[in-house]
Amino acid sequence: MGLIQYFKKIEPDKKKSPFLHTAYDAFFTFLASPNSVTKDGVHMRDGMDLKRTMVHVVLAMQLCYVFGTYNIGHQHFTAMGEYLGFLEGFHLKLAHGLIKLFPIFVVTHVVGLGIEFWYAAKKGHAVEEGFLVSGALIPLIMPPDLPIWILVLSVAFAVILVKEAFGGTGMNIWNVALMARLFVFFAYPTTISGDDVWVSGFEHIRAGYAADYGWAHNLFNGLFGAMGLDKFTGGQVVDGFTGATPLALAYQGGWEAVTAVYSVSDMWWGTIPGSIGETSKPFILFGAIFLLVTRIASWRIMLGMVLGASLMAIILNAWDATPFMNVPWYYQFYMGSFFFAMAFMATDPVTAASTNGGKIAYGFLIGFIGMIVRVLNPAYPEGWMLAIIFMNTFAPLLDRLVLNPHIARRKKLAHA
């Protein structure tokens, strides 16, 4: 273990430079699990710890990252009517996706982890792993063209006010990643709603504009040129391309309007505009199954959500007042980010209900309310973010509804 000894040698002094020591400690415990032993209480501990838990959630998202990155590029070129086949122009799409995603990913982590480290140093405890998941989720739920300074503000808002103000990992009331998105949604609504924001570079390829490629694209152009591949040339958006998501279309004209633009398999595989990581259903479901098999996420919440959303969608089918309500209930799952919210957002154990009964109710109500917001709200045709944050607020209440009868039953026994 020469490596360990080397790293132990360069450990900064805790008193002299607390921030450095915190950062060192965070990276060191990442490199090697510490040599701490049990004291009193149990003498043997389960192999599971919070790092392992969090990293497994991040692992579950990796396919969404791969697909999301590529889909940024795919949508960009689809808007211009170029390389319409999914695998055509592979290098260009991937390069464009990386150029868009990379800054978002790096900035999210630098800002978020920076704040975490600073707080940990200040409070004198170890850096907690919660931001590993929040930091991996935030890029996936943002639109690809989100200005970086807005991202910085939203991440800082979420980490400082939603998490650290309440005491750090495990103490927050609302889902950190969703609060970052909520911040953008209320503070800068034009960057995260409407038809224009879901396709990367859409602003710049409208009729009369030239595609706005920066130095990164030019760098790749040089590389691709040298390899004899196609280059980024820019172009104009094709006639009839609106960038509208299936949900926006469904709001205007029901299922017919959606299928006129997107096929069912497009929506299933996720080759449609949307937030970066939420479009591809199979890859999200793969992550969901991974989380269920490893028993990290609660099946109760997921099941409850599917039931709640199905029930509300069936009720809306029966109501049948607008074209959107008339969309067959099972097709509601093909549109929007239901599965992403189900797999990664609602199952956050800190903000969800913590009793088994409460979890089913919590999931069910998210599904139920989210579908109401999606279909009946004219301003914003997607509901999971708002529904989850709403139910985060009421999760302790759901737990109380489970615990209070339990307590009353025990009291009754005592008096009997």
Partner 1 sequence: MHTNHKFFSKLLLSTALLISVNSLSAQNAAGDTNVYLIAILIVIGALILVSAILTLSQNFISIEAAKFGVEIEEKDNGFSLSNLWKEANPLYTNGTPVTELKKGHDILLKGKPSSELIKKNVKRFAVNPKSFRGLSPIPKVLVEVGDEVKAGDPIYYDKKNPVVKFVAPVSGEVIEINRGEKRAITDIVILADSEVKHAQLDPPSINEASRDDIVSFLLSSGGWTLFNQRPYDILPAHDAVPTNIFISTFNTSPLSPDSSVIIEGQGDLFQKGLDTLNRLTSGQVFLGLCANFDDAPHEVFTGADNVVKKWFKGKHPSGNVGIQIHHTAPIAAGQTVWTLSVQEVITLGELMHKGIFNARRIVVIGGANVINPVHVETYIGANVGELVKDNIQGDNNRIIDGDVLSGKQTKDSNYLGFRSDQISVIEEGDYYEIFGWLVPIKARPTISGTFPNFLYPNLEFDGDTNTHGERRAFVMSGEYEKVLPMDLYPQHLMKAIMTGDFEQMEGLGIYELSEEDVALCEFVCTSKMPLQNILRDGLDMMREQG
Q: Are 329 and 317 in contact (CB under 8 A)?
A: yes
Q: Are 325 and 316 in contact (CB under 8 A)?
A: yes
Taking CB under 8 A as the criterion, the residue among 52, 122, 123, 206 binding partner 1 is 52
- Beta carbon nearer to partner 1, 255 or 380: 255
From the number of C-beta atoms within 10 Å of its C-beta (0-12, 13-18, 19+), residue 230 rates as middle
> Which residue in 102, 99, 106, 107 sits closest to 73, CA to CA?
99
Place of tokens 């975490």: 116
**C-alpha to C-alpha distance for 393 and 277, rounded to whole angstroms:** 25
CB of 227 to partner 1, least distance (A): 36
Taking CB under 8 A as the criterion, the residue among 84, 106, 110, 126 binding partner 1 is 126
Using the 8-state DSSP alphabet, how is residue 99 labeled? H
CB of 88 to partner 1, least distance (A): 24
Taking CB under 8 A as the criterion, the residue among 110, 171, 187, 219 binding partner 1 is 171
- In three-state secondary structure terms, 31 is helix
- Beta carbon nearer to partner 1, 90 or 166: 166
x-or-dash pattern for partner 1, window 236-275, by CB under 8 A? ----------------------------x---x-------
Taking CB under 8 A as the criterion, the residue among 116, 128, 278, 382 binding partner 1 is 128
Interface with partner 1 includes 98 (CB under 8 A)?
Answer: no
- Beta carbon nearer to partner 1, 33 or 233: 33
- Beta carbon nearer to partner 1, 129 or 145: 129
Stretch that binds partner 1, among 13-21, 52-60, 83-91, 112-120 (CB under 8 A): 52-60
Interface with partner 1 includes 397 (CB under 8 A)?
Answer: no
Stretch that binds partner 1, among 10-18, 53-61, 313-321, 338-346 (CB under 8 A): 53-61
Interface with partner 1 includes 15 (CB under 8 A)?
Answer: no
Please name the helix (run of DSSP H) or strand (run of DSSP E) that holds residue 317, with its range, or none.
Answer: helix 299-319
Task: Give the contacts of 53 (CB within 8 A, at least 6 positions apart).
Answer: 129, 296
Between the two ends of the chain, the Cα-to-Cα distance in Å is 63
Number of other residues whose CB lies within 10 A of the CB of residue 13: 9
Among positive and negative, which fits the CA dihedral 325, 184, 363, 398?
negative
**C-alpha to C-alpha distance for 29 and 129, rounded to whole angstroms:** 11
Stretch that binds partner 1, among 25-33, 66-74, 230-238, 366-374 (CB under 8 A): 25-33
Interface with partner 1 includes 298 (CB under 8 A)?
Answer: yes
> Which residue in 300, 317, 246, 306 sits closest to 278, CA to CA?
246
x-or-dash pattern for partner 1, window 309-348, by CB under 8 A? ---------------------x------------------
Q: Are 398 and 351 in contact (CB under 8 A)?
A: no
Binding site for partner 1 (CB under 8 A): 1, 3-4, 29, 31-38, 40-53, 55-56, 126, 128-130, 167-171, 264, 268, 293-296, 298, 330, 349-350, 352, 354-356, 359, 399, 403, 406-408, 410-411, 413-414, 416
